[in-house]
Amino acid sequence: MPQESDLGLVVCGPWIGEFAGELEAWHAWLRHIRHTMFKDNEFICISYPGRKILYEFASDFWELPDDFMEAINAKRIFPRWASVVNAETNKLLGYGEGRTANLASWVSSRVQAIAGKRHVIRIIPGSGATPQLKEALPRDQEFKLLRTDKIVPMPQAKIISIFPRDRPNETWRNWSAGAAGWQSLVQAFNRDGYCVIAHGAKNDSLDLGNSTEKFGNCVGRPLEDQVAYLQRSIIAITPICGAIRFAAFTGVPTLTFGNLSYIEGAERDEHKPVGSNPFGTKLVCLAKRGQWNYTPEEVKFCADKLIKELKV
């Protein structure tokens, strides 16, 4: 744990791990130490592009550099945890080959450029950081419901948000119905008068086509844009992934696929305000069946039931 500072420059990250860990542990822990230990310091956070909304407490937010993101996206690599930025990481990504700097030196050069004579305090997440950080958080965890006042084009119809996940190296987390299943679900909701908005990261989501009057493609857009639509959605639908936490942190009731026993308060239809779901967002879990071998009709039926229960 970092110690009380001498008003040095505090640089946190870079976070290169999974979004779920960043959402449910890393950014909340940084908010906690910012408020309790580094109130008067310049406090910089480094993470993926478009995630500034998570770090409203920081003095500045640095996005991971373009060439690092190009390496991530080209190889469709998804670091499981907040892996330490080291030679192994760079080799895995091919990052730094034929270039002047790797990620670690990129961070160092930026820090040196602004540090001057100040003492620099580096806070770097290590491998397997998520459970350790969750344990380190106080009982009154410093989570914040994700909200934005950003103005984005809004449909007149009620919104249903979906997360059409597609990870090639973790197919067990994808919906077996694939793109055709998601498109069928979108069409079914459209017939009922809903507008469907697709969310997710560009490198691990299916492309369901261009935006129309009844379908909005928000995949790959900054988190703030996605929050703007999520906070106005009546429900969200997602397979098992960080999107569950994302929906929970925006307060939208969520229908999700698979066995969520490892998410506190989300097993079956319990939704206590603990752990991965600090705001008590309603999370309804469909039990795992094969590779989540539900038909679009079955998912639609369960979604309709949830909407009816919510009376929206």
Sheet holding 195-198, edge to edge: 215-217, 195-198, 159-162, 233-238, 254-257, 283-286
Q: Both 58 and 172 in a single domain?
A: no
* pLDDT given at position 212: 85
Q: Both 19 and 62 in a single domain?
A: yes
* pLDDT given at position 276: 65
Q: Both 273 and 180 in a single domain?
A: yes
Sheet holding 9-12, edge to edge: 60-63, 43-47, 9-12, 120-123
Q: Both 69 and 204 in a single domain?
A: no
pLDDT, tens digit, 9 for 90 and up, residues 217-248: 999 999 999 999 999 999 999 887 778 889 88
Is 62 in contact with 51 (CB distance < 8 Å)?
no
Q: Both 15 and 119 in a single domain?
A: yes
Q: Of 110-119, 121-130, 179-188, 265-274, where does mean pLDDT reach its minimum?
A: 265-274
Domain membership of residue 196 as a residue range: 159-310
* pLDDT given at position 59: 97
Record the pTM.
0.83
Q: Both 247 and 119 in a single domain?
A: no
pLDDT, tens digit, 9 for 90 and up, residues 157-177: 999 999 998 877 666 678 888
